[in-house]
Structure 1
Amino acid sequence: MDADVTDSAGTPADPDHRAGDTPQGRSQEEPGATDSTDGSEPVPQKDAPQDETPQGEATDADAPQGSGDEDKAESSDENKADREADGTGAQTWADHPKDGSASRRKRPWLRWAALGASFLVMISAGAGWWLYKKLDGNITTDTSAAAELKVYEKERPTPVVMDAQNILLIGSDSRSGDNRKYGRDDGGSQRSDTTILLHLAADRKSATAVSLPRDLMVEVPKCRTGDDKETREQFTQFNSAFELGGTACTIRTVERLTGIRIDHHMVVDFNGFKDMVDAVDGVEICLKEPIDDKDARLELPAGRQTLNGEEALGYVRARKTLGDGSDTERMERQQRFLGALVNKMQSNGVLLNPTRLYPVLDAATKSLTTDSGLDSLRDLYDLVRSMRDVPTDQVQFLTVPRQPYRQNVNRDELVQPDASELFKQLREDKPVAVVPADELKEKEKAQDEKPDDTGSDSESPTPTPTYSGSSAADDLCEQ
């Protein structure tokens, strides 16, 4: 019996051992039985002495610190059964799997957590894609304008400064569709209630919005109408261009007037403006006197208050009950309100908060018609992102220098050379400055009273042209 024990714990088997002999090391029989050399029934093996360790097994001295009884307690019955089933016997310390089934049983929540996280990522990605496609699909692309502009390409100005952007913003006065409640529908005809030339500096450190009066007398070129007819070239009021030939005719009229190449255009109707104001939870204004204007659907008390979308629309469109009733005064009010809207979006972090930005984009895109260069959500986002770092005091609003038309005081004409100087500054991407009208008058008066220093040999730098206007940093309640 002692010989058997010594044999099972002996040296490793010799590769040249004769066939039929049992290899040294582990028994090939069931664990716990010794070899039978005489063909008799196997005899159960007595327990081996504690100081004798089968070759290949780790001794207490070899085992890592902390092994022994604690490791044995952690050993799984399932692992033992597996080893007995496949005849491997007791495994060495190195043979123990690093991640045993016991560990796997203890951490099933890891697998469920991974599955749950993957599911949430898939849901979020799907929702994000759906929102993107929805906003992208809201935008209407104006392909007809691009086609007509291509026909007249030789007449158009050449861009002077790369990376500067000139965008024509047109507020549609159409009474068709959802807008019919704001006035009479003349067969769905379109009119430009507001037109703004937005110049974005190449370095994106300033943005200048110039309002073009709807009653300004200008040269309107020959334009193609919706029924494929061609109008004659004529000297008429500015907003006739949009009614006669749509966006393309308006763009060509502005380019002829200013010499500035229009890179992109956007047409926004009443509902788009109204919904954007609602999306930012209203815009605050101050009224010196109460307003009761039935035509504008507006009734407001005096004082500081926040206008919702419907009230804001009436406020920027009112003419009879606010100011002197002129279109110029209304444009100035529109500019100040747009400045307050921009300030509200930046100060509340709307542009940097996807949760708050989505309603604004949804409202804007629903009522937006644009050229193919801005007809995707990515294009609009890139445009907004390029403007988000512009300081609010450098987002400037002004009206092109104008005065009553000599032959009809109900129409406007440009003041020269002031208007041409403004267009030249924008065309060459040079700065302009704006100050309140009363401050500009005081500045001009001081310059007139200052003696002409023609004897000076030193050349003074050319001052930045200054115009009557406002910025997005101005408080409407301090006007």
Structure 2
Amino acid sequence: MTERSGTRIRGGKRRRTATTVVAWSAAALVAIGGSGIGFAYLKLDGDRPVNIDNGSQDILVLGSDSRSGANREYGRRISGARSDTAMIVHVYKGHKKASVVSIPRDTLVERPECTDSKGKAVPGAQLAMFNSAYELGGPACAVKTAEKMSGIRMDHFIEVDFTGFKKLIDELGGVKITTTRPINDAKSHLKLAPGTHTLDGEQALGLVRTRKSIGDGSDLGRIQLQQAFIKALINQVKDIGVFSSPKKLYDVADTATRAITPDSQLDTVNELIGFAGGLKDLGTGDVRTITLPVRYDPADPNRVLPLQKGSQQVWTALRHDKPIPASATKDSAGDKGDAQGVIKGG
């Protein structure tokens, strides 16, 4: 079939994972429909990549364009929810470094057969948009699609909505950024002059949703902006001393756990604090952010196709817990824009 429209992860032993500043940052920058921040464990059936227990961790972070509940103020109510933003966070053995791979929502991939939350079968498809997996089959289908695409077994899945995003940013006291040019985006309702700003939750949400007014106006440009924001957010967590202040760490953890799903093994403040401490020394220089190597689809410029050679270099490196080689993104359309330069130091 060809398509061009847009409870628990199990396998081997269940492992506790550290929700780190990297995972929080990646989760916080995406606009996901649902209920706040969710660290969900999903029940997945069928063939999955081998669980390589080498000390590394892989977390799928999804964003959606849901407008249900408290999120309806951000636009008209749409049917269902799509994964508007997707990232795979790979934390290397030793928890001293991490890589974040952004997957453009319009990437055409093979979507495997899966089952939605109501037990209904979702047929597989060739050349399906990546974000259709979440729309049609929910988180479990999105995880299966990411695993099919990468050959990497996902340890966990994170979900955040607009409201959860804003609360986390506000709990951190905002995020300080320096813009190199004006931002005036009617759709994200963000207007910033060039210079240094401390963004509150509402403004930060507008920044990571900004698309039309930066770079070439594409989703690839928005991804570059989001990647720059990750680094600003990591700096903010370190600058305000979250890990050196027991009270601040407790308050941030409490903000997160109030929205964590019941199946999470990090559903208490003490668990979250204990695991978050595992990567407290990670800084922006220890985190590499890239966009999956892609090219524009000759049949439809609004879609992108993975570059086979570059993509395989990315997934092979992560499967073997190795750094992603610079050559992987050399010919990628995802690195051709200048949107990342909008935020100084991004």
TM-score over 0.5 (shorter chain): yes
Measure, in 2, the Cα distance between the counterparts of 1:215 and 1:385: 35
RMSD: 2.7
Deviation at 1:352, TM superposition (A): 2.6
Other-structure match for 1:19: none
Deviation at 1:278, TM superposition (A): 1.2
Other-structure match for 2:248: 356
Other-structure match for 1:393: 285
Deviation at 1:381, TM superposition (A): 2.8
Other-structure match for 1:289: 181
Amino acid of the structure 2 residue aligned with 1:399: T
Larger helix percent: 1
Other-structure match for 1:196: 87
- Contact kept in structure 2, 1:266 and 1:369, CA below 8 Å: no
Other-structure match for 1:243: 135
Write the mapping of 1:323-362 to structure 2, written as runs, cut at 5 A.
Answer: 323-362=215-254
1:432 matches 2:324: yes
1:365 matches 2:279: no
Measure, in 1, the Cα distance between the counterparts of 2:221 and 2:342: 17
Other-structure match for 2:50: 158
**TM-score, normalised with respect to structure 1:** 0.59
- Contact kept in structure 2, 1:173 and 1:270, CA below 8 Å: no
Deviation at 1:382, TM superposition (A): 3.7
Measure, in 2, the Cα distance between the counterparts of 1:172 and 1:323: 22
Q: Which runs of 5+ in 2 are unaligned?
A: 1-35
- Contact kept in structure 2, 1:140 and 1:370, CA below 8 Å: no
Deviation at 1:275, TM superposition (A): 1.6
Other-structure match for 1:231: 122
Write the mapping of 1:120-199 to structure 2, written as runs, cut at 5 A.
Answer: 142=40, 145-146=42-43, 149=44, 151-152=45-46, 155-187=47-79, 189-199=80-90
Amino acid of the structure 1 residue aligned with 2:105: R
Deviation at 1:363, TM superposition (A): 3.0
Residue identity (%): 40
Cα deviations by residue, 1:81-123 (Å, 9 ceiling, x for unpaired)? xxxxxxxxxxxxxxxxxxxxxxxxxxxxxxxxxxxxxxxxxxx
- Contact kept in structure 2, 1:140 and 1:375, CA below 8 Å: no
- Contact kept in structure 2, 1:210 and 1:400, CA below 8 Å: yes
Amino acid of the structure 2 residue aligned with 1:395: V
Other-structure match for 1:317: 209
Cα deviations by residue, 1:379-423 (Å, 9 ceiling, x for unpaired)? 433432111122431122111111112221111111121110110
Cα deviations by residue, 1:149-191 (Å, 9 ceiling, x for unpaired)? 0x22xx100123422111111123211111110111125x222
Deviation at 1:367, TM superposition (A): 4.0
Other-structure match for 1:272: 164
- Contact kept in structure 1, 2:39 and 2:159, CA below 8 Å: no
Amino acid of the structure 1 residue aligned with 2:114: C
Using a 3 Å threshold, how does the CA distance of structure 1 residues 139 and 298 change in structure 2: closer, same or farther? closer
Other-structure match for 1:406: 298
Q: Larger relative CO (CA 8 A, sep 6+): 1 or 2? A: 2
Measure, in 2, the Cα distance between the counterparts of 1:142 and 1:158: 20
Other-structure match for 2:108: 217
Structure 1 stretches of 4+ with a deviation exceeding 6 A read none
Measure, in 1, the Cα distance between the counterparts of 2:60 and 2:155: 8
Deviation at 1:468, TM superposition (A): 5.7
Computing the radius of gyration from Cα coordinates, the structure with the larger value is 1
Using a 3 Å threshold, how does the CA distance of structure 1 residues 476 and 319 change in structure 2: closer, same or farther? closer
- Contact kept in structure 1, 2:225 and 2:343, CA below 8 Å: no
Measure, in 1, the Cα distance between the counterparts of 2:342 and 2:106: 29
Cα deviations by residue, 1:290-335 (Å, 9 ceiling, x for unpaired)? 2332221212222221111101111110111122111111011101
Cα deviations by residue, 1:231-255 (Å, 9 ceiling, x for unpaired)? 1111210001001111100000000
Q: Tell me the SS of whatever aligns to 1:228.
A: coil
Measure, in 1, the Cα distance between the counterparts of 2:326 and 2:248: 31
Q: Tell me the SS of whatever aligns to 2:202.
A: helix
Measure, in 2, the Cα distance between the counterparts of 1:475 and 1:434: 22
